[in-house]
Amino acid sequence: MLAKLQTLEQNSLVQISVLTSEASLIDLRNAILGKNGSLTELLKGVKDLSDEDKKTIGKAINECKIRMTAAFEAQLAVIKNRLIADRLANEFEDVTTPVSEDTGNHLHPITRTLMKVEDSFKRMGFDCYESNEVTTEYWNFDSLNIPKTHPARDMQDTFWLEGTGNVLATQTSSMQNIIMKSKGAPIKAIISGRVFRNEDIDATHENTFYQVEGMVIDRDITLANLKYTLRTMLSDIFGREVSIRMRPGYFPFVEPGVEVDFSCPFCSGTGCKICKKSGWIEFMGAGLIHPNVLREWGIDPDEYTGFAFGFGLNRLVMIEYSIPDMRYFQNPNLAFLKQF
Ligand code: DAH
C-alpha cells in the first residue's frame, strides 16, 4: 500500500506541475483529494488494516495529503500569477507614445480658446462650470436685479418659451445665482456656455453665441482684483502683456458697472486695423456685484463683496485669429474649419 501511495504521489505531483488552467487543476484535485478521489479511496482502505499498519500507513497517507494540498495551492498561485503577468503584458498601453499619424481631426476654434481661457483661470484658483441653455425668467433676469418692468430687459432680445416662464439663456450671468446658491461664499467661478438672442444676424451679431462669465466673492474684493484677474487671463491668451482699461458702464447687477477694454496685443497700443487705430479693444462688461444681488443670494454685503464679468467668446476668437465674420462659427464650412 505504501508503494501504491508513493506512485500516486509522484504521478500526481508531475500532473499538477504541468497544468496551466485553474479549472483543470480543480478537476485534478477532486480526482485525487475529493470524496471519491484516489487518495481518499486509499484512506478508506486503512480501516481494514492491522492496528500496526493503520498507524504507519494512516500517518503516511495524511502526510501525503498535506504535501499534495500544498502542491495544489502552489500551482494555483503560479497559474494566477501567470494570468496577471499575461494581462499586464497584453493590455499594457504606453500612453506616452506619440500619436504617429495625423487623424485630421481637431478641436473647433471656440473649444480651443475656451480651453485656454479655462486653463488660465484654473491656474488662478477658479472652478469652471457649464451654463444651462434653457433657464427661468427668474435666473436670467429677476435674480440679477432686473425685475419685470425694468427697461434693461429690452437690452437683450429674448427667446421666450411660451407658457412656461422659461427662456433660452440670454447671458451666462443667469448662472450666477444657481452657482452661488449651491456653493456659497467665498467663491471663484468661471461659467461658460451658449447663449441665445433674437438678433438680426450679420458679421458681428449671431443669435447663438458663447459667453464666459466670471464671479469672485470674498472679503475685501475690489476692482483692483478684477483688473489683475482679467489682465492675467488676457496676457496668457495672447502670450504677451496686455493692459486693462475700465470705463463706466451700466449693468443692473453690478455697482459700479464697467466696460473693460484691453490694449491691442497686435500693435501694442500704437494703432492698427484690428483695434481700429485706437490702440484699445472693447471687450466686456464687468463690475462689483450689486448689494441687492448679494442679498438675493443670502449674502451680507457688509461682510462680502465680489466682482463679476462676462465676455463673448466668439469675439475673443475673432480677435485672436483675425476672423472677420462671426457667422463662420456656426457654419460647417470645411475651408474655414480646416485652418485650425
Ligand atoms: N451679461 C452681460 C451681457 O451679456 C455681460 C456682463 C456684464 C456680465 C457685467 C457680468 C457683468 O457678470 O458684471 O451683456
Tell me: the pLDDT tens digits for 158-183? 999 998 889 999 999 999 999 999 99
**Could you tell me if 79 and 113 lie in one domain?**
no
User: For the segment 289-336, what is each residue's pLDDT rounded down to a tens digit?
Assistant: 999 999 999 999 999 999 999 999 999 999 999 999 999 999 888 889
pTM higher than 0.85 for the full model? no
**70 falls within a domain:** yes
The verdict on the CB of residue 309 being under 6 Å from ligand 1 is: yes
Domain that holds residue 38: 2-90
Residue 201 CA, ligand 1 centroid: distance in Å:
21
**Could you tell me if 82 and 227 lie in one domain?**
no
**28 falls within a domain:** yes
The percent of residues in the chain predicted with pLDDT above 90, rounded, is: 77
The verdict on the CB of residue 180 being under 6 Å from ligand 1 is: no
Residue 226 CA, ligand 1 centroid: distance in Å:
13
**224 falls within a domain:** yes
**Could you tell me if 43 and 127 lie in one domain?**
no
The verdict on the CB of residue 286 being under 6 Å from ligand 1 is: yes
Best residue among 251, 255, 290 to mutate for probing ligand 1, ranked by most atoms within 8 Å of CB: 251
For residue 230, how many C-alpha atoms fall within 13 Å in the half-sphere facing its CB?
Answer: 30
**Could you tell me if 154 and 283 lie in one domain?**
yes
**296 falls within a domain:** yes
**Could you tell me if 53 and 158 lie in one domain?**
no
**97 falls within a domain:** no
**Domain end among 90, 122, 139:** 90
Q: What is the CATH number of the domain that holds 218?
A: 3.30.930.10
Report the mean per-residue pLDDT for the chain.
93
Query: What atom of ligand 1 comes closest to residue 253's alpha carbon?
Result: 13
**Could you tell me if 206 and 330 lie in one domain?**
yes
Total of domains in the chain: 2
The verdict on the CB of residue 312 being under 6 Å from ligand 1 is: no
Residue 40 CA, ligand 1 centroid: distance in Å:
85
Residue 23, C-beta contacts closer than 8 angstroms, at least 6 positions apart:
none
**95 falls within a domain:** no
Residue 188 CA, ligand 1 centroid: distance in Å:
16
**Domain end among 41, 60, 90:** 90
First-residue to last-residue Cα distance in the chain: 84
CB-CB contact of 157 with 196 (8 Å): no
**96 falls within a domain:** no
User: For the segment 34-64, what is each residue's pLDDT rounded down to a tens digit?
Assistant: 999 998 988 888 888 888 888 999 899 999 9
**Could you tell me if 140 and 204 lie in one domain?**
yes
Residue 213's pLDDT is 98
**Domain end among 55, 90, 125:** 90
**Could you tell me if 40 and 132 lie in one domain?**
no
**Could you tell me if 145 and 285 lie in one domain?**
yes
**82 falls within a domain:** yes
Residue 173 CA, ligand 1 centroid: distance in Å:
6
